Amino acid sequence: MLTSLYIEGHTLFHRLSVRVKLACLLVLSLLLFAVSSLWLLVPAFALSTGLYATTGLSLREGFSRVGFVFFTILFLGVVNLFLLPPLEVLVVVIRLMTLVLFAATVTATTTIDAFMDEITVLLMPLERIGLVRAADVSLALGLVLRFVPEIFARYQAIREAHRARGLPLRPLTIIGPLIILTLKDADMIAMAIDARGFRRH
């Protein structure tokens, strides 16, 4: 079972600081949504794909991490074909897939601890004026990143249990137990965090 989205390596992205990666992600997001030309979006998609391929993930594992999100994007693209011109839908699909691949590259080359430390530092000015508690926000982000692979592994386990019992693989019969188990885990984690005084009540 996976314990983290991080993949050890010595690539350029592994060596970059978390702040630089987050800044690149922010800039790329702004640029992608400011551009509508396929002549720019397609090279950006190719670049994000190339960066993602350098993380050290196998083809199967790499696709498994982004496959569900890609499927969702494609599904929304098909639905939007009834509302928008095909060219506009293609632009939206490529834009979102490019952003997903780049974000997946960032998470695969950055440890959870590094993310949490950097988010805490970046939010300290807001904490000083009383808007947020930086440690709580970074803890929430760290928990999300930590339990994404856990939830995916649990989904696979439920799916395999259905297959072993000869039950049909229907989304509702899998998503239901997955949500219930995830909420139970969330309650247990929240109680453990409060018991150890990691956050304000």
Query: What local confidence, expressed as pLDDT, does residue 135 receive?
Result: 75
Q: Are residues 160 and 79 in the same domain?
A: no
pLDDT over 90 at 165, yes or no: no
Residues 100 and 150 in one domain: no
Structure-token pair, residue 178: 């997955």
- DSSP reduced 3-state for 49: helix
Mean pLDDT of 179-194: 71
Give domain status of residue 106, yes or no: yes
Nearest to 183 by CA among 161, 162, 145, 154: 154
pLDDT at 145 over 70: no
Average per-residue pLDDT in the chain?
81
Is 148 contained in some domain? yes
The whole-number average pLDDT for the span 107-133 is 83
Do 95 and 147 lie in one domain? The reply is no
Predicted confidence at residue 12, as pLDDT, reads 82
> 10-60: per-residue pLDDT in tens?
888 888 888 899 899 999 999 999 988 999 999 999 999 999 998 888 888
Residue 198 pLDDT exceeds 70? no
Residue 178 lies in a domain: yes
pLDDT, tens digit (0-9, with 9 covering 90-100), for 58-73: 888 888 888 878 888 9
Residue 119 belongs to some domain of the structure: no
Q: Domain check: are 143 and 100 in the same one?
A: no
Same domain assignment for residues 18 and 97: yes
Among candidate residues 77, 110, 143, the one where a domain is terminated:
110
110 contacts 80 by C-beta, under 8 angstroms: no
17 and 105 belong to one structural domain = yes
Q: Is residue 117 part of a domain?
A: no
Range of the domain at 167: 133-195
> Is residue 121 included in any domain, yes or no?
no
> What span, in angstroms and rounded, lies between the C-alpha atoms of 13 and 135?
26
Question: Based on the structure, what is the number of domains in the chain?
Answer: 2
The candidate with the shortest Cα–Cα distance to 53, out of 68, 63, 67, 41, is 63
Question: Which tokens hold the place of 194?
Answer: 């409060």
